């Protein structure tokens, strides 16, 4: 009997359940403060409790839920103080990454950054948030993908999931997105001049500064509506 070949990148059941729950949290179908019932959720999904429990453990590690013994699994809120701390962590790590990979930021990489930023600008003008968001991640990943510090990369990606994969207002917040494109250009300009310290400082102290971005943050997240 010929052995059936599995796709190389087939997702495990745990990964599918994890993404399902994360999507529900992001869409607001599962709200902060709600309890996720293991029995009901496993029955609804038609799965055993093991992959569900494993997915919830990952969500707890990433800060999305809190598992309380004998009380259940509670979906965490995301406060403005949480966002401030996430900005501080991401800004510190991404700025250090720019310094770490400065010798790899050649003309080809600069052109890649410029192209991505241009595509972001086009997406803003079209009011296409999803495309803008995708290119925004790609822009920052240019630095992260050049970095050989796997732990740094994983921490940044986990923190960004916590920051972005949460219920928020849909659509373009045009002033913020246009401002972000300008900030990206400032970072590119510093890199072009070989001033990597200023590029890193700007990434940390402006682009990922909660104090600088707070007025936009408060418009962006849906819980600001109370």
Q: Which of 210, 166, 205 minimizes the C-alpha distance to 186?
A: 205
Per-residue pLDDT at 168: 59
Q: Which of 120, 124, 226, 222 minimizes the C-alpha distance to 173?
A: 124
Q: Provide the whole-model pTM.
A: 0.85
Task: In whole angstroms, give the CA distance from residue 20 to residue 205.
Answer: 35
Beta strands in 46-194 (DSSP E): 65-68, 72-75
Give the bridge partners for 75, in sequence order.
65
Domain ranges for the chain, please list them. Answer: 13-75, 80-225
With 0-12 CB in 10 A as exposed, 13-18 as middle and 19+ as buried, what is 44? exposed
Report the CATH architecture of 13-75.
Orthogonal Bundle (1.10)
96 vs 224, higher pLDDT: 96
For the cut 50, the answer to whether the pLDDT of residue 127 exceeds it is yes
For the cut 70, the answer to whether the pLDDT of residue 226 exceeds it is no
Give the bridge partners for 36, in sequence order.
73
Q: Which of 171, 170, 142 minimizes the C-alpha distance to 156?
A: 142
- Taking only the tens place, the pLDDT of each residue in 189-211 is 999 999 999 999 999 999 999 99
For the cut 90, the answer to whether the pLDDT of residue 26 exceeds it is no
Per-residue pLDDT at 6: 45
- Taking only the tens place, the pLDDT of each residue in 143-195 is 999 999 999 999 999 999 888 877 655 566 899 999 999 999 999 999 999 99
With 0-12 CB in 10 A as exposed, 13-18 as middle and 19+ as buried, what is 126? exposed
Per-residue pLDDT at 142: 98
CATH class belonging to 80-225 = mainly alpha
5's tokens = 């070949």
Give the bridge partners for 66, in sequence order.
74
Using only C-alpha atoms, the chain has a radius of gyration, in whole angstroms, of 20
């Amino acid at each position: 009997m010929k052995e059936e070949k599995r796709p190389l990148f087939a997702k495990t059941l745990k990964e599918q359940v994890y993404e399902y729950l994360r999507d529900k949290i992001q869409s607001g179908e599962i709200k902060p403060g709600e309890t996720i019932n293991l029995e009901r959720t496993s029955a609804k999904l038609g799965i055993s409790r093991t992959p569900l429990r494993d997915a919830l453990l990952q969500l707890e590690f990433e800060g999305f839920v809190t598992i309380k013994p004998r009380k259940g699994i509670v979906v965490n809120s995301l406060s403005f103080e949480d966002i401030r701390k996430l900005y501080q962590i991401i800004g510190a790590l991404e700025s250090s990454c720019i310094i770490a990979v400065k010798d790899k930021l050649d003309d080809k990489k600069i052109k890649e950054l410029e192209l991505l930023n241009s595509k972001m600008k086009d997406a803003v003008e079209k009011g296409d948030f999803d495309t803008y968001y995708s290119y925004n991640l790609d822009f920052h990943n240019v630095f992260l993908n050049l970095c050989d510090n796997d732990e740094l990369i994983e921490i940044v990606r986990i923190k960004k999931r916590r920051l972005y994969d949460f219920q928020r207002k849909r659509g373009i917040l045009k002033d913020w997105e246009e401002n972000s494109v300008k900030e990206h250009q400032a970072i590119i300009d510093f890199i072009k001049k070989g001033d990597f310290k200023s590029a890193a400082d700007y990434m940390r102290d402006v682009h990922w500064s909660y104090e600088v971005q707070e007025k936009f943050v408060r418009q962006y997240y849906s819980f600001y509506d109370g």
